[in-house]
Amino acid sequence: MPKILVIAEHNGAKLNTSTAKTVACAASMDEAIIDVAVFAADASFIAIEAAKLNSVKRVMKYERSENEHSLAAIIAPQIIAIAEEYTHIFAPSTTFGKDLMPRVAALLGVNQISDVMSIESSRIFKRPIYAGNAIETIEIPMQDIVVATIRIASYAATTNGNSATIESGNPSKVKLPTHTRFVEIKSSVTDRPDLQTAAKVVSGGRALASEENFDIIYKLAGKLNAAVGASRAAVDAGYVPNEMQVGQTGKIIAPDLYIAIGISGAIQHLTGIKDAGTIIAINKDAEAPIFEVADIGLVADLFIAVPELIEALN
Amino acid sequence: MEKILVGLKRVVDYNVRVRVKSDSSGIETEGVKMSINPFDEIALEEALRIKERGEASEIIVISIGSTEAQQQLRTGLAMGADRAILVETDSQVGSLCVARAIKSFIDRDSVDLVILGKQAIDGDNNQTAQMLSAIWDRPQATFASQLEIKGDKAMVTREIDAGLEVIEIDLPAVISADLRMNEPRYVKLPDIMKAKKKPLEITALSDLNIDQGPEIKSLLFEAPLERSRGAMVNDVAELVATLKEKGLA
Ligand SMILES: Cc1cc2nc3c(=O)[nH]c(=O)nc-3n(C[C@H](O)[C@H](O)[C@H](O)COP(=O)(O)OP(=O)(O)OC[C@H]3O[C@@H](n4cnc5c(N)ncnc54)[C@H](O)[C@@H]3O)c2cc1C
């Protein structure tokens, strides 16, 4: 019977929704028994949230002051210390999981699977390659523990309603390195919906041409209660911060509604929105590749169409 | 710091629209343009800049792959690397094997810093830097957009989902480069000529004394489900009407 350990992602205070999506993936494996591990300085509130997730059998808390900042070099050896109990170790394919899981796999002497989008059996998985232009089915060698990151855009979050048991692990036995030290996080604080989990997303591209012009994207997003995203070109040009990039090397998202404004639709961008419900594109070039994937397209100058759209939604 | 090692992977150029072979056995690479993985080019550019600031004395590029990967190593030498290593193999090797191969040259050549691209745009795995630092038992600084060397330490700014994270690490260490770290230089013709004289060492993967373990097996390659072209609307009023119809506004 598969016994799966899901590594919880959190920001020190709250559980990230990516954890509930990873649990949903784990629960899609036949007969899986699922534990969630929380590595934190103070895991109490996070563990309570994790215990509510349906399909979870047990939540393990590993509390140490060193766990305050989720550094891969610090958490990986603690996972190794408990890995023996499990057949599979999963984490979300967010920057947290991508940083951590290869380190875990290498310490266990196994290869790692990135971006699982579907579970075919306990050893057979599907994953996207080449910016989503091909899907590969892979099989893990029989004797290996399966270490994987989960493509969260492929899963709907597990619902709440459970009350799994919460236990405290004893992590103090593990010797931790001191060679990696957290200094600071710089985030642009916003009260807008979170890009990775929002039901609606409005994104702007290079065509916005300045940080100031991006205001109309924020305004439209505000009207729709949507999160704001961007193409790489808009981030590179400094119109918006890096955490807003959508695509192969940014965030892979699956909102119900995605509105691409002044974005050409490069494959690296499209791979980030393949799972969106409805895609709307506004672009002044009728030949832009974004129209090949858009459900609704409008050929227009964004500086005229977007203010009109905001007005019409009033 | 003496030596910086940079990994260069030969991949299908990012402008090529890849296709799955009709027998589902792999990706069509026949006659397709091949290039250095874009993230690896950024890694090399960063190493060259460190050397140009006088903070390192030798830049070594390494590739694990087929004999054709010599082309990408030559390009790396033309960009300014001092010497190159090809670990030759015709089989598809996983990230762990690549990390182990790189590690054997870190030990042999006493490398002080390794810079790799954060992911290769073929497999999109994003693993090798993390695996290498694990088996080397050294710090990792992944998805780096800024790197500042301070003696035997480095300050690294990382692009993470929440924004930018700054960490301080002890050297030696492994850095993985993100897109915004720098803009790689263009290679000039005289540099291509000069690169032909730089040393390029070739070793068979099977001659390295590393555990090659069982690899993950590829069973099947499929084209993804394509989204189809939808309807065009003529103006904003029509757009709003369609949105309302679908319950999206
Ligand atoms: C390794 C690699 C990884 C990458 N990863 C990503 C990624 O994660 N995400 C990503 O987005 N990109 C990524 N890219 C970059 C990608 O290839 C494109 O360069 C980028 O997506 C282009 O951004 P854009 O559509 O905003 O700009 P452009 O391609 O310049 O498109 C601008 C569009 O705006 C339209 N336009 C101009 N003016 C107006 C106007 N007034 N009104 C309406 N429309 C207008 C134009 O017709 C055009 O279609 C990556 C590239 C590489 C090589």
pLDDT digit string, tens, across residues B31-55 = 999 999 999 999 999 999 999 999 9
pLDDT digits (tens), chain A, 314 positions: 999 999 999 999 999 999 999 999 999 999 999 999 999 999 999 999 999 999 999 999 999 999 999 999 999 999 999 999 999 999 999 999 999 999 999 999 999 999 999 999 999 999 999 999 999 999 999 888 999 999 999 999 999 999 999 999 986 789 999 999 999 999 877 788 999 999 999 999 999 999 999 999 999 999 999 999 999 999 999 999 999 999 999 999 999 999 999 999 999 999 999 999 999 999 999 999 999 999 999 999 999 999 999 999 98
Nearest CA to ligand 1 atom 29: A264
Q: Is A194 domain-assigned?
A: no
Does B94 contact A at CB distance below 8 Å?
Answer: yes
pLDDT of residue A171: 66
pLDDT of residue B146: 98
- Is the domain of A222 the same as that of A260? yes
Look up the pTM and report it: 0.96
Regarding beta strands A124-129 and A118-119, do their DSSP bridges make them parallel or antiparallel, or are they unpaired?
antiparallel
ipTM of the complex: 0.96
Q: Which residues of A touch B125 (CB under 8 A)?
A: 112, 114
Q: Which amino acid is at A279?
A: I
- Is the domain of A25 the same as that of A162? yes
Does the pLDDT of residue B105 top 90, yes or no? Answer: yes
Number of domains within chain B? 1
Helix A302-313 vs helix B236-245: crossing angle, to nearest 10:
50
Q: What is residue A120's three-state secondary structure?
A: coil
Helix A95-108 vs helix B95-109: crossing angle, to nearest 10:
70
- Is the domain of A137 the same as that of A217? no
Interface mutation target, options B91, B130, B222, chain A, most CBs of A under 10 Å: B130
Q: Which amino acid is at A239?
A: Y
Specify whether the CB–CB gap between A152 and A21 falls below 8 A: yes
Q: How far is A115 from chain B (nearest CA, A)?
A: 8
Which residue range(s) make up the domain with B100?
3-245
Q: Is A272 domain-assigned?
A: yes
Which residue range(s) make up the domain with A161?
3-173
Q: Which residues of B touch A251 (CB under 8 A)?
A: 161
Nearest to A309 among B129, B132, B239 (CB): B239
CATH number at residue A166: 3.40.50.620
- Is the domain of A158 the same as that of A22? yes
- Is the domain of A114 the same as that of A224? no
Q: Which residues of A touch B24 (CB under 8 A)?
A: none
Say which DSSP state A93 is in: S
- pLDDT band of B164, cuts 50, 70, 90: very high
Identify the CA nearest to B130 among candidates B145, B141, B120.
Answer: B141
- Is the domain of A116 the same as that of A207? no
Specify whether the CB–CB gap between A299 and A284 falls below 8 A: yes
- Is the domain of A167 the same as that of A234? no
Cβ neighbour number for residue A52 with a 10 Å cutoff? 17
Element spanning B124, H or E: none
- Is the domain of A103 the same as that of A244? no
Radius of gyration of chain B (CA): 21
The least confident of A47-51, A262-266, B80-84, B245-249 is: B245-249
Q: Is A189 domain-assigned?
A: no
Regarding beta strands A33-40 and A56-63, do their DSSP bridges make them parallel or antiparallel, or are they unpaired?
parallel
CATH number at residue A209: 3.40.50.1220
Identify the CA nearest to B50 among candidates B82, B12, B92.
Answer: B82
CATH number at residue B190: 3.40.50.620
Q: Which residues of B touch A13 (CB under 8 A)?
A: none
Specify whether the CB–CB gap between A254 and A236 falls below 8 A: no
Q: How far is B196 from chain A (nearest CA, A)?
A: 31
Number of domains within chain A? 2
B191-241 pLDDT, tens digit per residue, is: 999 999 999 999 999 999 898 878 999 999 999 988 889 999 999 999 999
- Is the domain of A24 the same as that of A167? yes
pLDDT of residue B249: 84
Boundary residue ending a domain (A157, A173, A189): A173
pLDDT of residue A187: 85
- Is the domain of A10 the same as that of A116? yes
Per-residue tokens: A310 = 């905001």
Q: What is residue A248's three-state secondary structure?
A: coil
**Cis peptide bond prior to B172, omega within 30° of 0:** yes
Q: A217-220 long-range CB contacts below 8 Å, 24 or more apart?
A: A217/A261, A217/A306, A218/A192, A219/A310, A220/A259, A220/A261, A220/A306, A220/A309, A220/A310, A220/A313
pLDDT of residue B128: 98
Q: Is A180 domain-assigned?
A: no
Distance A174 CA to ligand 1 centre (A): 46
Closest residue of chain A to B156, computed from CA coordinates: A183
Phi, psi of A279, deg, nearest 5 = -110, 130
Nearest to B163 among A73, A112, A185 (CB): A185
Q: How many CA atoms lie within 13 A of A254 on its CB side?
A: 11
Q: Is A190 domain-assigned?
A: no
Atom of ligand 1 nearest to the CA of A282: 43
* Helical spans, DSSP H, in chain A: 17-27, 44-51, 72-83, 95-108, 215-224, 232-236, 267-270, 302-313
Say which DSSP state A145 is in: P
Q: Is A186 domain-assigned?
A: no
Residue pointed to by tokens 């995605």: A258
Identify the CA nearest to A64 among candidates A43, A85, A48, A79.
Answer: A43
Cα separation, A101 vs A18, in Å, equals 15
Q: Is A169 domain-assigned?
A: yes
Residues 6+ apart with CB under 8 A from A223: A310, A313, A314
- Is the domain of A264 the same as that of A162? no
